[in-house]
């Protein structure tokens, strides 16, 4: 019998797509079948389609992302009777895996109602619930997930098999009779979960098992509890994330409509919100004007807040400092026992650890891409249609792996800093995991130019072992390419002026870059401007101790006396000798280290940072206060002097020193610094546009996660076309994408 075959590609598994197709077919009286396979969803229909293909795109389920609907003719051996959902076929993966999704309104109402799932912590349907964190392999069926050990009871089976039910083919379906269970564990003794409120009430710390790992929770309004958590976790200043209902969040933060939309997104990320209203203990986020908030995103979190009932909770990653988040019950008991007074446990395994995603609404940007956002894919720009399969292996910090296949780029989840042994193990696991899950067989391996990065060595070894082509990519070129690719810049779209500001990246000249203006495209780049280099005294120690960066900048400006007065306890003589002789003091143009230098001059954690970016984040908060008071950055910006391609810093620090002597408020000094950096680079980028050398300006690198600097740079660029990161991180979290598209561009040209 003559008919049609419809291939649907995109995020179409685990989102209720097959029952959606079944309902469309029923409405139209069509016969045939629908199934999952490695390429997505396959539909076969006898006779006419009656508008089915158009409805697939127009009426897709909430969590679906349809990339393509391809229709071709098909001949049935025998005429089908009715329309059926049939078993999945094939192995391997060409389709997109759906990220985990926050509890939908229907399931939340069910949890709060009187039915059989009242207060059940694992309630879900095809519109919400776990996906990637429980998935072992594709196709997405229950047997391939960590729900496999839980056999459906008759009631759940009836819902699962009923096309009219929203749980029709919902793979994690469960209820209290047949699904996972939750309990509270205190001193090795199992207790009812409802007793968790009493632990929190007593200023206790609770380890809570979520979707992608454990969190550490405590009463966010209790200064004693917050201080205890910091002491136990040995985390003196890094901000804690917070969880609360939307009404609670409004009591402590300004919340715009755009921010409400982000909070309520199915990804349920942490959203950075400006402090407002009632005050929480300063220890929640020392020195910061914003707080990271998220809504409860699983039934367990909703039930936890209901049992607690007293406002916001701190909800920070459950891990030893520097290690990956804990995901297993036994691992939690072993590693977190010294941190917590109780465990809120359950018996559904976590297939892969995922941190919480972190985002900001204004300007829109993703700061950490993880739970709820991965493993979504990005279509490659025009010109990359024939790109081979490529794997990009990132840098050393904020590691994330990128795979290119079939015109799509899949950027993996945030892994962390690869110096830590357990994080490296997580990296190796993710490498094997993604390759197997997505049936990826690379022809090309792309790595950072720095040969000593662990990911670079790993990629080189794999290329040599498997006979693959190896492409070494300069760090800041990768940043530029990642920004271009995210914005869909065509392969042959012309050159872009990239303002690339970050911490550290090896340049082809052997120095350490980090404050660059590049003119380039996917094929190559030229360095057209950079911050005057300064020694990184002590190498890596310069990243942890801001006074070292301030010392060399002040000395270079003839302000040795000011440096001596600002840092009397620092070993200045030894540091100066090291800088003069070039002993463990590589030259660097890093914008991140310039932030550290200015922060140290203002007394912001001058001797040591307790976490990466602390000085810069506090400096941004300080500058933002001046802007909030109505000060205009343009009126008092410091200025760099030009010396060829160099932005020289001596005049800048001389003006800063004069302001210090005159008693100018630290907030004003911080704002003038931000304005100087924005205007200094914007002026040079504008000249590349006006000369016709560049067609747009890209703002990238971790420093551009600074919202104030981003706004000031955009203001200085005026009406010029600007490419910015929105859905991927500006920091090294998107570096692997840049590496991969540069390697693909080389392959296209070859």
| Tokens read off for 502 | 């970050």
390 touches 740 (CB < 8 A): yes
Q: 12 phi and psi, to 5 degrees?
A: -130, 10
482 touches 735 (CB < 8 A): yes
Residue 222, SS3 per DSSP:
coil
| β-pair partners for 317 | 215
Q: What does the buried/exposed string (b/e) look like for 499-533 if buried means 16 or more CB atoms within 10 Å of the residue's CB?
A: bbbbbbbbbeeeebbbbbbbbbbbeebebbbbbbb
628 touches 511 (CB < 8 A): no
Q: d(Cα 446, Cα 450) in Å, to the nearest integer?
A: 12
Q: 366 phi and psi, to 5 degrees?
A: -95, 125
Tally of residues, the chain: 750
| Tokens read off for 721 | 């076309």
Residue 258, SS3 per DSSP:
helix
Q: d(Cα 445, Cα 466) in Å, to the nearest integer?
A: 10
Q: d(Cα 604, Cα 547) in Å, to the nearest integer?
A: 10
Residue 646, SS3 per DSSP:
strand
Q: d(Cα 566, Cα 555) in Å, to the nearest integer?
A: 12
| Tokens read off for 553 | 């900048």
Q: d(Cα 123, Cα 622) in Å, to the nearest integer?
A: 44
**Residue 422 burial by Cβ neighbours in a 10 Å radius (0-12, 13-18, 19+):** middle
Comparing CA positions, the residue from 517, 516, 518, 556 lying closest to residue 535 is 556
Number of C-beta neighbours around residue 695 at 10 A = 16
Task: Tell me, letter by letter, the H, E, C secondary structure of 274-318.
Answer: EECCCCCCHHHCCCCCEEEEECCCCHHHHHHHHHHCCCCEEEEEC
Q: d(Cα 687, Cα 528) in Å, to the nearest integer?
A: 11
Q: 610 phi and psi, to 5 degrees?
A: -90, -10
- What sign does the dihedral 264-269-275-278 (CA atoms) show? positive
Q: d(Cα 383, Cα 375) in Å, to the nearest integer?
A: 23
Angle between helices 666-690 and 614-628 (to 10 degrees): 90
649 touches 552 (CB < 8 A): no
State how far the alpha carbon of 31 is from the alpha carbons of 18, 49, 58, 85, in Å. 14, 10, 21, 11
| Tokens read off for 749 | 């040209």
User: Max Cα separation, the chain?
Assistant: 92
**Catalytic residues, which ones?**
18, 36
Q: d(Cα 166, Cα 169) in Å, to the nearest integer?
A: 9
């Amino acid at each position: 019998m003559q008919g049609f075959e419809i291939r649907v590609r995109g995020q179409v598994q685990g989102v209720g797509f097959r029952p959606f197709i079944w309902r469309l077919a029923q409405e139209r009286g069509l016969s045939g079948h629908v199934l999952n396979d490695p390429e997505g969803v396959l539909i076969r229909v006898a006779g006419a389609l009656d508008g089915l293909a158009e409805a697939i795109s127009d009426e897709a389920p909430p969590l679906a992302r349809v990339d393509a609907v391809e229709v071709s003719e098909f001949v049935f051996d025998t005429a089908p009777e009715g329309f059926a959902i049939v078993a999945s076929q094939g192995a391997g993966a060409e389709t997109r895996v759906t990220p985990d999704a926050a509890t939908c309104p229907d399931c939340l109402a069910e949890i709060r109602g009187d039915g059989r799932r009242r207060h059940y912590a694992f309630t879900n349907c095809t519109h919400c619930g776990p996906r990637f964190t429980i998935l072992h392999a594709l196709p997405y069926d229950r047997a391939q997930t960590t729900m496999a050990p839980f056999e459906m009871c008759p009631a759940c089976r009836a819902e699962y098999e009923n096309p009219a039910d929203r749980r029709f083919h919902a793979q994690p379906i469960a209820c209290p009779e047949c699904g996972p269970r939750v309990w509270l564990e205190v001193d090795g003794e199992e207790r009812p979960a409802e007793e968790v409120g009493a632990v929190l009430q007593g200023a206790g710390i609770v380890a809570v098992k979520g979707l992608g790992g454990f969190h550490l929770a405590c009463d966010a309004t209790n200064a004693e509890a917050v201080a205890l958590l910091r002491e136990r976790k040995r985390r003196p200043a890094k901000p804690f994330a917070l969880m609360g209902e939307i009404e609670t969040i409004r009591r402590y933060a300004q919340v715009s409509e755009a921010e409400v939309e982000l909070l309520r997104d199915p990804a349920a990320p942490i959203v950075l919100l400006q402090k407002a209203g009632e005050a929480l203990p300063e220890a929640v986020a020392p020195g910061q004007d914003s707080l990271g908030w998220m809504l409860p995103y699983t039934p367990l979190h909703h039930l936890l807040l209901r049992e607690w009932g007293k406002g916001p909770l701190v909800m920070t990653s459950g891990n030893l400092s520097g290690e990956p988040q804990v995901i297993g019950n036994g691992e939690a008991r072993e590693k977190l026992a010294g941190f917590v007074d109780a465990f809120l446990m359950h018996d559904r395994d976590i297939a892969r650890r995922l941190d919480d995603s972190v985002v900001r609404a204004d300007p829109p940007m993703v700061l950490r891409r993880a739970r709820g956002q991965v493993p979504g894919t990005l279509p490659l720009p025009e010109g990359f249609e024939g790109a081979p399969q490529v794997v990009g292996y990132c840098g050393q910090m904020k590691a994330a792996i990128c795979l290119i296949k079939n015109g799509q780029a899949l950027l993996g989840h945030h892994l962390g800093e690869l110096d830590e042994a357990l994080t490296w193990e997580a990296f190796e696991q993710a490498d094997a995991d993604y390759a197997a899950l997505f049936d990826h067989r690379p022809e090309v391996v792309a790595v950072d130019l720095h040969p000593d990065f662990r990911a670079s060595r790993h990629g080189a070894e794999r290329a040599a072992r498997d006979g693959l082509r190896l492409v070494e990519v300069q760090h800041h070129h990768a940043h530029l390419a990642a920004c271009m690719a995210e914005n869909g810049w065509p392969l042959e779209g012309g050159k872009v002026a990239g303002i690339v500001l970050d911490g550290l990246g090896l340049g082809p000249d052997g120095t350490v870059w980090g404050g660059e203006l590049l003119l380039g495209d996917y094929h190559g780049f030229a360095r057209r401007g950079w911050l005057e280099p300064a020694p990184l005294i002590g190498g890596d120690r310069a990243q942890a101790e801001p006074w070292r960066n301030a010392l060399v900048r002040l000395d270079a400006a003839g302000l040795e006396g000011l440096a001596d007065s600002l840092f009397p306890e620092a070993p200045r003589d030894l540091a100066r000798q090291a800088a003069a002789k070039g002993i463990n003091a590589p030259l660097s143009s890093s914008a991140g280290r310039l932030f550290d230098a200015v922060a140290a001059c203002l007394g912001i954690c001058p001797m040591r940072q307790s976490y990466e970016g602390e000085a810069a984040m506090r400096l941004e908060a300080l500058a933002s206060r001046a802007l909030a008071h109505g000060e205009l950055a343009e009126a008092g910006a410091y200025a760099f002097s030009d010396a060829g391609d160099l932005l020289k810093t001596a005049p800048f620090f001389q003006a800063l020193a004069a302001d210090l002597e005159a008693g100018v408020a630290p907030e004003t000094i911080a704002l003038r610094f931000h304005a100087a950096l924005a205007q200094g680079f914007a002026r040079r980028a504008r000249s590349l546009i006006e000369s016709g050398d560049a067609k747009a300006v890209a703002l990238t690198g971790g420093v551009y996660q600074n919202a104030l600097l981003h706004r000031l740079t955009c203001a200085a660029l005026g009406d010029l076309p600007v490419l910015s990161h929105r859905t991927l991180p500006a920091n090294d979290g998107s570096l692997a994408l840049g590496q991969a598209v540069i390697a693909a561009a080389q392959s296209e040209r070859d």
